[in-house]
Copies of this chain bind each other. A is one copy, B any other.
Amino acid sequence: MERVTIRPAGPEDIPAIVAMLADDPLGATRESPEDLAPYRRAYDRLRSDPHQFLVVADREGEVVGTLQLTIVPGLSRKGSTRSIIEGVRVHRSERGRGLGARLVEWAVEESRRQDCHLVQLTSDAARPDAHRFYERLGFTGSHVGFKMQLGPA
Q: Give the B-binding residues of A (Cβ under 8 A).
A: 14, 17-18, 21, 27, 30-32, 38-43, 45-46, 49, 51-52, 54, 68, 70, 72-81, 84, 86-87, 108, 111-112, 116-125, 131, 134-135, 137-150, 153
Contact = CB atoms under 8 A, between A and B. Distances in A.
Given A73-B46, A75-B39, A76-B87, A124 B146 contact: no
Given A42-B81, A120-B147, A150-B118, A76 B31 contact: yes
Number of copies: 2
A75 B51 contact: no
Contact of A75 (B21, B137, B138): B21
B75 A42 contact: yes
A146 B121 CA distance: 5
A35 to B, nearest CB: 8
